[in-house]
A and B are shown apart, each in its own frame.
Chain A
């Protein structure tokens, strides 16, 4: 069964550093998403991406965040200057179309900012 692959599984970074989280969506999917989950809290929507541009973003997705699809396979989330409160699980997801098909999520990257 096709999978969404995320790397690394765990990343530790110092406050103020830039991090890039990487995702390889399912190959025939057209929509891409990033979500995050702070420990013990809800899964929160960050951004959706379609046709090489952001289609929707949440209030969380401020200027320190950016997304990119640098080639035909990768989808990345960049956090420019990490804060302690950015520590969370970050999940990438992809879908063929938005509705009615569901999203396929990756297994996540645990980001720890120290």
Chain B
């Protein structure tokens, strides 16, 4: 599994887009990029994943750079309920969680 690096914390104003970066410079060709979030002490919640193309679903968009060494999770219109710890995981096998980015959405 590729090591990932995320900023420890970020703030975002409610209603604005939240852009969460992730560096995975050692990612290998068969490893996907996954994003999960954890609200309080709830179970991690799947958000989105991708291999090399940009992806969008009802929750978020995932932008992966052409060299696949980094990606950005975009929450287009952040709400207070999006306050959570966001985890970026690059893996072709087992899921290992790092420390993630603690996103605080500010009213």
A residues lining the B interface (CB < 8 Å): 4, 33, 35, 37, 39, 42-45, 48, 56, 89, 91, 93, 98-100, 102-108, 110
The 10 closest A-B pairs by CB, nearest first: A105-B43, A43-B97, A102-B46, A105-B44, A91-B43, A107-B43, A100-B32, A108-B43, A106-B43, A42-B97
Q: Interface of chain A, helix or strand or loop or mixed? A: strand
Encoded as 1 (CB less than 8 Å from any A CB) or 0, chain B from 2 to 31 comes to 000000000000000000000000000000
Q: Interface of chain B, helix or strand or loop or mixed? A: loop
In the complex, which residue of chain B has the Cβ closest to the Cβ of A3?
B43
The one of B41, B94, B97 that contacts A48, using a Cβ cutoff of 8 Å: B94
Given contacts A43-B38, A102-B95, 4 further A-B contacts (CB under 8 A): A33-B95, A39-B41, A43-B87, A103-B44
Tell me whether A108 and B34 are in contact (CB under 8 A): no
In the complex, which residue of chain A has the Cβ closest to the Cβ of B41?
A89
Tell me whether B51 and A100 are in contact (CB under 8 A): yes
Determine the chain A residues whose CB is within 8 A of the CB of B93 once the complex forms.
98-99
Whole-angstrom distance between the Cβ of A32 and the nearest chain B Cβ: 13
Whole-angstrom distance between the Cβ of B98 and the nearest chain A Cβ: 7
